[in-house]
Amino acid sequence: MSFSLRKIGPCLAIALALSPLASVRPSADSDQPRARYVMLISIDGMHAVDFEVCAHNGTCPTLAELGENGVTYRRTSTSRPSDSAPGMAALVSGGTPKTTGIYYDVAYDRVLAPPLNDTPNGNFSGDCTPNAVHGTTTEYEEGVDLNQTMLNGGGPYALLDGGFRSIDSTRLPRDPFNNCSPVFPWNFIRVNTIYGVIHAAHGYTAWSDKHAVYASVSGPTRPGDHPSVPDNLDDYYSPDVNSNGLACPESPLRAVD
């Protein structure tokens, strides 16, 4: 059985911005029971105490039901700094920002060179001299979309879709020690992720997020594979959350006063 995030209603899929899914085949040489499907749900800004409160007062019954078969880890901490990019990198790799190299969507790298073209968010282009240390602002958010005003990021997708092909490679920082090639977000992260582990075990992976660049969860491309493709993601759905507003009249969701 496979699962496609594109089967979710488009407006609902945008609301559930961080909902990855993985299918892992059981090991043939083990008698231990193995999970066939694993879903990781990250709710931006939700603390452990928030979950405890809503689970006990009945305001999040679905999460509470999931929690009945889970474990609450109370002696843990978010990434420092705490934000979507370093937090998600920590969840899928176990690494700190120092380890993963991801401190924020927009940061600074002492080695990489500026992008070939300016980004609409103000990350300016510059020269790239092969085999020389440069230093540049790194932007991995909506500013590297082909068209950040569009929900699909300007990529080759339907209006309500979106994915990694919405990334404009000319707006990415470049690696002077790799022929000044653009550094795609899944190669910017310095460590492997659970998606690479799942793929190595011949599992099926899917991910939904708020920007095309969050395909970084795939982790570095394997030797011999094309660096422009996050090869550990089978299904990726990422309409851009910071695009211009778009009405969704077909959605069954209604505002509540």
DSSP states along 137-192: EEE-SGGGBS-TTSTTTTSSS-TT---GGGB-GGGS-EETTTTTEE--HHHHS-S-
Structure tokens that stand for 72 in this block: 């609450």
Q: Are residues 163 and 238 in contact, defined by beta-carbon separation less than 8 angstroms? A: yes
The average confidence (pLDDT) of the chain is: 85
Of 19-28, 122-131, 161-170, the range with the lowest mean pLDDT is 19-28
pLDDT in tens, 19-75: 444 554 545 555 666 778 888 888 888 888 898 899 889 999 998 988 888 777 778
pTM reported for the whole predicted model: 0.82
- Per the CB < 8 A criterion, the answer to whether 176 and 112 are in contact is yes
Identify the H or E element spanning 207: strand 204-208
pLDDT at residue 216 above 50?
A: yes
How far, CA to CA in Å, does 203 sit from each of 5, 22, 192, 210, 226? 16, 7, 16, 24, 20
Centroid of chain to Cα 212? 8
80-111 pLDDT per residue, tens? 998 889 999 999 999 999 999 999 999 999 99
**Higher confidence at residue 254 or residue 179?**
179
What pLDDT, on a 0 to 100 scale, did the predictor assign at position 8?
Answer: 33
Q: What percent of the chain clears pLDDT 90, i.e. is strictly above it?
A: 62
Q: Average pLDDT in the 180-202 region?
A: 95
Residue 170 has pLDDT above 80, yes or no: yes
| Maximum CA extent, the chain | 60
